[in-house]
Amino acid sequence: MSASAVHSLWTTAATDPIDKIGAPDIEYGQLSPTLIVIGAAIIGILIEAFVPRKIRYYAQVFVSVVALAAAFAAVVALAAGGYGTTKAGIAAMGAIAVDGPALFLQGTILLAGILGVFTFAERRLDPAAHGNKVDSFAAQAASVPGSDSEKAAVKAGFATTEVFPLLLFAIGGMLIFPAANDLLTLFIALEVFSLPLYLLCAVARRKRLMSQEAAVKYFLLGAFASAFTLFGIALLYGYAGSVSYATIAQVVDGTVAEITPALAGTMGNDALLLIGTAMVVMGLLFKVGAVPFHMWTPDVYQGAPTPVTGFMAAATKVAAFGALLRLLYVVLPGLRWDWRPVMWAVAIVTMLGGAIVAITQTDIKRLLAYSSIAHAGFILAGVIATSPDGVSSVLFYLGAYSFVTIGAFAVVTLVRDAGGEATHLSKWAGLGRRSPLVAAVFAVFLLAFAGIPLTSGFAGKFAVFKAAAEGGAGAIVVVGVISSAIAAFFYIRVIVLMFFSEPRPEGPTVAVPSPLTMTAIGVGVVVTLVLGVAPQYFLDLAGQAGTFVR
């Protein structure tokens, strides 16, 4: 008896083998920016595992900068190859869109990421501890602040070089977020960039209790918001029977090709669609920090290490607005008569709320946090426009805003006293007399935030308000201009404080940074002025990039 005959005594061949699952087609070239960044993050983890402690810092900084630069080059190559305009398409089996807005925002996030790495890598601001240069991050994040184990870690010269791979993972998630073309990818990208940011918030060297508190608040509220997003995704999936953006859009419009009996039942149920949309949009508005989902912003911005705050304030906003634009413009244009009034209300309370509460702030980081809330409102005004100009103005605003933000927070890291950064506003009095250059640079950033002509802030605000006015949202523009005026008051107040009041004898000193932070600040100033004086080229670029692929 042969082996197979024996075998057949107690087994039988399956008559119809299960349909083989085809291998997916992945367009590696079009996805290369994200793949490079995530790959470098994994290399960063291997560096943590295998490279001697002394050279880890150099290896991590090198890998991070090279990877981000290579990813940016890949984005530029894709854009030059026409993937932003004529060859825009959907990659990775429908999961990721490669189109103008995605490439524009990915480029912005990568540049912000490079500047972020520079500010993360700064080691000249704090005095050296036991002969070892120290950065803004705890020697050993696991040890209790002030404990013996922390003192031992500082003495041994430990450093939390894990922040660089964490930053790369966050950037990887942010690159996918505005390009996500189905709801599952959206949710996974949201978590991939949020989780590293929660950790980065917790590892400040100075004021670690505040830093841990910020991380707990950010984590609990962030997880709460992503649970809402996920339930909204479940409801939208229930409504349309698919998570693909294109299919949901067709079901919303009623132009879907094949209607199964189940779909016929659910697509008549507007409650699923409206509640699902509301919950997903709520999660995205949480990430951009729009009122009434802004409660985490001031505490997290204040408590997190300042380099992390700067990066987070810039890049999270870019990624989240990209995802919000794609969701509203690609998936839900058929629903715009429902979401526009809600977005009107959110934009108005965000602009006014951020600007008014900022007036009462006495801490520079909290002030910038409320200012970022007000800016989220200005950007929402462009989102409401529902026109090609609306998309391109939002893209331009995000690009301009992210450089100003990183530069401004980099300046905040320079002003220091014995306890670390001197963030209380009263300590900034007379800074312009003591270090005119730093104060002047910060004044440029504040004027850009305020939207004064010849800075990028003016060009960006003008673009979004023009788009909003042409899109029929005149009332938003009026409120926007009023809240800009309110916001200008507290920006100017800081400038007056810096230049026209007497320096206090026990006031802070301005640390001399290494070329890393100088580059971050310098690039911020140059971009702010260039986009302010000659914005047309970049407005055209954003205009060309303003078409979503469906």
Contact residues for other proteins (CB under 8 A)? 141-142, 144-145, 183-184, 187-188, 191, 195, 198-199, 202, 208-210, 212-217, 219-220, 223-224, 227-228, 230-231, 233-235, 237-238, 241-243, 260, 262-263, 265-266, 298-299, 302-303, 360-361, 366
Residue placing its CB nearer to other proteins in the complex, 135 or 299: 299
Q: How far is the CB of 177 from other proteins (least distance, A)?
A: 14
Q: How far is the CB of 383 from other proteins (least distance, A)?
A: 26
**Minimum separation from the CB atom of position 154 to other proteins (A):** 16
Contacts of residue 239, defined as CB under 8 A and 6 or more positions apart, other chains included, come to 248, 251, 266, 267, 269, 272, 273, 276
Q: Which is nearer to other proteins, 29 or 145 (CB)?
A: 145
Cβ count near 260 (within 10 Å): 10
What is the smallest separation between the CB atom of 199 and other proteins, expressed in angstroms?
6
Tracing tokens 């294109």 back to the chain, one arrives at: 246
Least spacing, CB of residue 523 vs other proteins, in Å: 30
Nearer to other proteins, 276 or 451 (CB): 276
Amino acid at 313: A
Which CB sits closer to other proteins, 188 or 469?
A: 188
Which one-letter DSSP state was computed for residue 147?
S
How many CB atoms within 10 Å of residue 509? Answer: 13
Helix boundaries (H) for 241-332: 245-253, 261-266, 270-288, 296-303, 306-326
CA nearest 407: which of 436, 440, 377, 379? Answer: 440
Shorter beta-carbon distance to other proteins: residue 260 or 426:
260
Q: Are 414 and 306 in contact (CB under 8 A)?
A: no
- Tell me how far, at minimum, the Cβ of 224 lies from other proteins, in Å: 5
Per-residue burial over 346-365, b if 16 or more Cβ lie within 10 Å, else e, is bbbbbbbbbbebbeebeebb
Query: What are the distances in angstroms from CA 231 to CA 145, 236, 379?
Result: 38, 9, 26
Q: Which is nearer to other proteins, 270 or 540 (CB)?
A: 270
The conformational region for residue 358 under phi > 0 = left, psi -120 to 50 = alpha, else beta, is: alpha
Strands 415-417, 509-510: pairing is: antiparallel
Sign of the torsion formed by the C-alpha atoms of 341, 345, 347 and 348? positive
Least distance to other proteins from the beta carbon of 187, Å? 7
Q: Which is nearer to other proteins, 140 or 405 (CB)?
A: 140
- Tokens coding 196: 């590293």
Picking from 174, 195, 215, the residue whose alpha carbon sits closest to that of residue 75 is: 174
Nearer of residues 3 and 49 to other proteins, judged by Cβ: 49
We find the least distance from the C-beta atom of residue 37 to other proteins, in angstroms, to be 18
Q: Could you tell me the smallest distance in angstroms from the CB atom of residue 151 to other proteins?
A: 15
Closer to other proteins by CB, 80 or 264: give it. 264
Q: How far is the CB of 506 from other proteins (least distance, A)?
A: 23
CB 336 within 8 A of CB 466: no
Token pair of 94 as six digits: 């429908």
The CA-atom distances, in angstroms, between 406 and each of 116, 120, 266, 310, 410 are 7, 11, 46, 5, 6
Instruction: Using the minimum distance from each CB to other proteins, give the nearer residue, 339 or 370.
Output: 370
